[in-house]
Amino acid sequence: MLLAWYPEHARDLPWRHTRDPYRIWISEVMLQQTRVATVIERYTRFTEKFPSLLSLALARQEDVLALWSGLGYYKRARLLHDAARLVVAEHGGSLPQTAAELRKLPGVGAYTAPAIASIAYGEPIAVVDGNVERVLTRLQALDADGQRPTAGTLQARADELLDPESPGIFNQAMMELGATICLPRTPLCTVCPVYVYCRTRGEHTPRPRTQIVSRQASYLLWRRPFRGQTSRVAVLLVKRPESAALMPGMWELPELPEPPEQQPILRVRHAITTSNYYVSVFAGDGQIGITTPSGTERKWFPERKLTEIPLTGLARKILMRLDVMAKPREVRRGKALPGGEDQPPA
């Protein structure tokens, strides 16, 4: 029933048009904790720039991170790059073909290994992601005792249900069901293809979350002509230390310890995992001193270089809102965005 439902209702996604294990791998890593809609555009750009595992392995880490900028969880990009080099060095450039072997690659965990193995190589092994967990928990009332089922229980139940003839399709169908029908808040039980088998019909206790705290931050946007050319503008950026726990080695605007006595040119809210940052951006002109920790690299970047360096998501957001940085080309419907929409208030 699920296998019959899937072809009719599956979304048309770029990575469903390929059987290239490398591309499946890229898509799975990008999709980790990241929405499909966000990944689509990034996947396309990434695979255009790095069309093969070898091209990725040969790339500089900075160029990989630049393409990842804004996607979040930058450790994924580093581990992906490390894994690509490892595959070239130790596996002759071809991905391992079993979940057990794939699992040994950095960044390939309990979900991603079976996902690649089943989708790209047809190994009969079930995936358990957030969707599958929710679907199974509801379908079989696995939290009837008030406890969330363990990973082992979920994997066992999923493997029991798996169709060994079409493991890749089955796995994607389970995830698709969770993503489009068996939704977290309001499951669409009336159109669910497995409604008659469902023990709960949507009852489900969500997992507890860690609390969000609010913080404030001020940043400086300092622009000046680039190499004396009045037609080109450069922006001052600082590089986060390689030792930083958060976003190491990525470029951002200089942060101000205190908000200066002037009106900000932009206010934005930016959520970073467990913190909500209320950010003010001030125009710099050399009057506002910036004190960066010793050893921190500072550099003036011309506008056109900004797309080529690993910026933090917040820096990208600020530079795009203030029209310093061009927005990435709009793909959908071929409708070019008129520049300069979403202007900040004066």
Binding residues for DNA (CB under 7 A): 13, 15-16, 27-28, 31-38, 70-75, 79, 106-113, 115, 129-131, 150, 172, 175-176, 178-179, 184-185, 206, 209-210, 212, 245-247, 269-274, 276, 312-314, 316-317
Please identify, using beta-carbon distances, which residue of 124 and 130 lies nearer to DNA. Answer: 130
CA distance to 234, 259, 305, 343, per residue, from 231 (Å) = 10, 30, 15, 21
* Distance from C-alpha of 252 to C-alpha of 70, rounded to nearest angstrom: 12
Q: Which entry of 8, 28, 165, 261 is annotated as an active-site residue? A: 28
Please identify, using beta-carbon distances, which residue of 136 and 175 lies nearer to DNA. Answer: 175
Kindly state the smallest distance separating residue 55's Cβ from DNA, in Å. 22
- Amino acid at site 225: P
Return the C-alpha torsion angle 3, 7, 10, 15, nearest 10.
Answer: 100
Please identify, using beta-carbon distances, which residue of 123 and 226 lies nearer to DNA. Answer: 123
Q: Considering only CA atoms, which of 224, 222, 202 is closest in space to residue 137?
A: 202
- Amino acid at site 331: V
Pairing mode, strands 213-226 and 255-256:
antiparallel
Please identify, using beta-carbon distances, which residue of 91 and 288 lies nearer to DNA. Answer: 91
Please identify, using beta-carbon distances, which residue of 32 and 166 lies nearer to DNA. Answer: 32
* Distance from C-alpha of 212 to C-alpha of 215, rounded to nearest angstrom: 10
How are the residues of the chain apportioned to helix, strand and coil, as percentages rounded to the nearest 5? Answer: 40, 15, 45
H or E stretch at 5: helix 2-9
258: annotated active-site residue: no
Kindly state the smallest distance separating residue 287's Cβ from DNA, in Å. 28
Residue 133: which residues within 8 A CB-CB, separation 6 or more? 149, 154
Please identify, using beta-carbon distances, which residue of 32 and 307 lies nearer to DNA. Answer: 32
Kindly state the smallest distance separating residue 286's Cβ from DNA, in Å. 28
Q: Considering only CA atoms, which of 268, 342, 282, 346 is closest in space to residue 312?
A: 268
Residue 210, CA atoms < 13 Å, CB-side half-sphere? 6
How large is the C-alpha radius of gyration of the chain? 23
Which residues are tagged catalytic?
A: 28
